Amino acid sequence: MNRPVKDHEILSAVFAKMDVPALSIAVGILGALLLFLATAILLLQTVPEDYPVGPHLSALADYLPGYSVSWGGTLVGAVYGFLGGAIAGFAAAVYWNIAHYVALGVMLISSAELAD
């Protein structure tokens, strides 16, 4: 038995909800990997004696307590990268969902007004 598909069902399928925990974890992992690799690559490069290693990246220690351009700092940086990425992913997913709920509501109201 086929039932007619309603406009709001079509719009709900088109404007699918973003999975907030999934995006938070995914962006968090990317942030952790990015900061870990940035620090590790600096440590693996050969530099002359008495030359500062990563002066620009070491400035993150002003904002991230415990971070340094060292092998221990790669792990601390990965934790901070995950936290920062997870917060950014959470905010992006929530913003996406709110914007799409508002757009969906506007379209449903418009289609109801046109139907009258």
d(CA 66, CA 109): 52
Taking 70 as the threshold, does the pLDDT of residue 25 lie above it?
Answer: yes
Res 13 pLDDT > 70: no
Measured from the Cβ of residue 77, the count of other Cβ atoms closer than 10 Å reads: 28
Higher pLDDT, 105 or 32: 32
Q: 3 pLDDT exceeds 70?
A: no
pLDDT over 90 at 72, yes or no: yes
Q: Is residue 66 very low, low, confident or very high in pLDDT (cuts 50, 70, 90)? A: very high
Angle, helix 20-44 to helix 71-115, in steps of 10 degrees: 150
Query: If we measure between CA atoms, which residue out of 36, 99, 106, 104 comes closest to residue 70?
Result: 36
Long-range contacts of 55-59 (CB under 8 A, 24+ apart): none
pLDDT for the residue numbered 92? 96
Mean pLDDT value across the chain: 86
The mean pLDDT of 24-40, rounded to a whole number, is 97
